[in-house]
């Protein structure tokens, strides 16, 4: 068998090869949603993406007989190390043919680079961080991913495990449906909370987008409960992401909870743009924009990304009211189905909230780790 050559990405031509290789393992897979090439370029742009102001990344390509057969990135996130006091590096952007030797060579290269940077373990996938595409799909391969969620072929978990990685945490994606959500108990409970607390729920003010983003960013920074492994975005990262999301967001399903005019919580949901992008097989922007103009109103699912209140309001029931209001406003806006994702397997509060909404786990993702 021909030998496998691993080389770091150093030139623009190799960056293009790195991006375009993603199309190879998914050929003929009807559930895969091709990313926009523009978005993939931004994700790995170490000059313009503010994530890389506190992170380093090395990308590798695997070749056999001059043909690209795999890719991977190794990432050191200084803010993760500071936040969690652990020397854990990450792998991300992993794509590979169904070949144990290729996968092994890629992981060996990524692990060697991370070890040279002083890391004690490697975790992933994170492409490139917890605030981006995160986790490897292990269940639900027949279902397309929702917006900003990851997807991979069914053989990836076996490749990763064969290369010495073991599970460290699972993530759930819950499906919630109009016909199941609005039980009498939930509706009564929402009204009780509303009357008892005096809380009001409003949608984001789109005409004051910048000030509303600052409000949400400040809310998030003021003691928002952190998930396991979570790293708060810097102000530059937050603004960078918000600018991108503005183009696809629906303000009717971005809500803010207030008590006597004081913001105490918020919920962020996004229309599932992947219902349009799944038809955009080449990844180019112009056809995607045309499809968005023609078919955006046909999107019938939202991804519920963030829901929560400040810690001092945990016991008020306002968090449950945000669940209810997101569901109600989603339905009223033409989205009868939602996906709450992702939720850590041991996040009791969020799992309980999803179950309260009669949610069904329909996809599972896994984070793997390997000592160095």
**pLDDT given at position 68:** 98
Mean pLDDT for the chain? Answer: 94
- Would you say 318 and 265 are in contact if contact means Cβ atoms under 8 Å apart? yes
Region 211-233: mean pLDDT is 85
Q: Which CATH number fits domain 4-170: 2.40.10.10, 3.40.30.10, 3.40.630.30, 3.10.180.10?
A: 3.40.630.30
pTM: 0.95
CA-based nearest residue to 97, from 190, 196, 22, 149: 22
H/E run at residue 277: helix 274-277
Query: Would you place residue 307 in the very low, low, confident or very high pLDDT band (cuts 50, 70, 90)?
Result: confident
Q: Select the more confidently predicted residue: 200 or 308.
A: 200
Long-range contacts of 275-281 (CB under 8 A, 24+ apart): 275/144, 275/299, 275/300, 275/301, 277/33, 277/34, 277/35, 277/36, 278/32, 278/33, 278/34, 278/144, 280/34, 280/36, 281/34
Region 277-289: mean pLDDT is 92
Query: Would you place residue 109 in the very low, low, confident or very high pLDDT band (cuts 50, 70, 90)?
Result: very high
The CATH number of domain 175-364 is 1.10.8.60? no
Under DSSP, the state recorded for 135 is S
CA-based nearest residue to 75, from 116, 118, 38, 127: 127
**pLDDT given at position 224:** 66
**pLDDT given at position 39:** 96
| Residues near 114 by beta carbon (within 8 Å), at least 6 away in sequence | 74, 76, 89, 122, 372
**In whole angstroms, what is the distance from residue 98 CA to residue 7 CA?**
20
* pLDDT tens digits, 324-339: 999 999 999 999 999 9
Q: Is the pLDDT of residue 308 over 90?
A: no
**In whole angstroms, what is the distance from residue 62 CA to residue 260 CA?**
58
- Strand 67-77 vs strand 88-96: parallel, antiparallel, or unpaired? antiparallel
**pLDDT given at position 183:** 87
Q: Is the pLDDT of residue 235 over 70?
A: yes
* pLDDT tens digits, 58-77: 999 999 999 999 999 999 99
* pLDDT tens digits, 25-59: 999 999 999 999 999 999 999 999 999 999 999 99
Q: Select the more confidently predicted residue: 344 or 356.
A: 344
Query: Would you place residue 1 in the very low, low, confident or very high pLDDT band (cuts 50, 70, 90)?
Result: low
Tokens 């639900």 locate to 140
Positions of CATH 3.40.630.30 in the chain: 4-170, 175-364
**pLDDT given at position 356:** 85
3-state secondary structure of 93: strand
Instruction: Tell me the HSE value of 219 on the side-chain side, using a 13 A CA sphere.
Output: 23
CA-based nearest residue to 58, from 76, 81, 31, 36: 76
């Amino acid at each position: 068998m021909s030998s496998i050559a691993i080389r770091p990405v150093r030139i623009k031509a190799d960056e293009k090869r790195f991006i375009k290789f993603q199309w190879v393992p998914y050929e003929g897979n009807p559930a895969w949603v091709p990313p926009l090439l523009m978005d993939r370029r931004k994700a790995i742009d170490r000059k313009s993406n503010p994530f890389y102001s506190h992170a380093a990344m090395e990308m590798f390509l695997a070749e056999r007989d001059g043909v690209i057969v795999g890719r991977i990135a190794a990432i050191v996130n200084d803010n993760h190390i500071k936040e969690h006091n652990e020397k854990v590096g990450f792998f991300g952007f992993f794509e590979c043919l169904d070949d144990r030797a290729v996968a092994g060579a890629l992981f060996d290269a990524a692990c060697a680079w991370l070890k040279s940077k002083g890391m004690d373990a490697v975790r992933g996938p994170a492409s490139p961080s917890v605030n981006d595409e995160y986790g490897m799909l292990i269940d639900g391969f027949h279902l397309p991913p929702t917006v900003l969620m990851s997807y991979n072929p069914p053989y990836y978990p076996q490749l990763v495990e064969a290369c010495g990685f073991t599970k460290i945490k699972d993530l759930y994606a819950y499906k919630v449906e109009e016909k199941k959500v609005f039980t009498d108990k939930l509706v009564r409970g929402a009204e009780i909370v509303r009357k008892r607390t005096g809380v009001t729920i409003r949608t984001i003010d789109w005409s004051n987008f910048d000030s509303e983003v600052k409000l949400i960013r400040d809310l998030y920074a003021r003691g928002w409960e952190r998930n396991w492994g979570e790293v708060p975005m810097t102000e530059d990262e937050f603004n960078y992401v918000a600018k991108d999301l503005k183009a696809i967001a629906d303000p009717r399903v971005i809500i803010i909870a207030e008590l006597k005019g004081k913001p105490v919580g918020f919920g962020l949901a996004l229309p599932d743009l992947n219902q349009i992008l799944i038809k955009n097989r080449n990844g180019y922007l112009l056809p995607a924009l045309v499809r968005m103009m023609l078919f955006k109103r046909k999107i019938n699912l939202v991804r519920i990304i963030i829901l929560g209140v400040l810690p001092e309001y945990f016991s008020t029931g306002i968090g449950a009211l945000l669940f209810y209001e997101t569901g109600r406003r989603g339905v009223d806006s033409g989205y009868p189905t939602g996906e709450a994702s992702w939720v850590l397997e041991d996040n009791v509060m969020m799992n309980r909230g999803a179950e309260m909404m009669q949610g069904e786990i329909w996809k599972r993702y896994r984070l793997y780790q390997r000592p160095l």
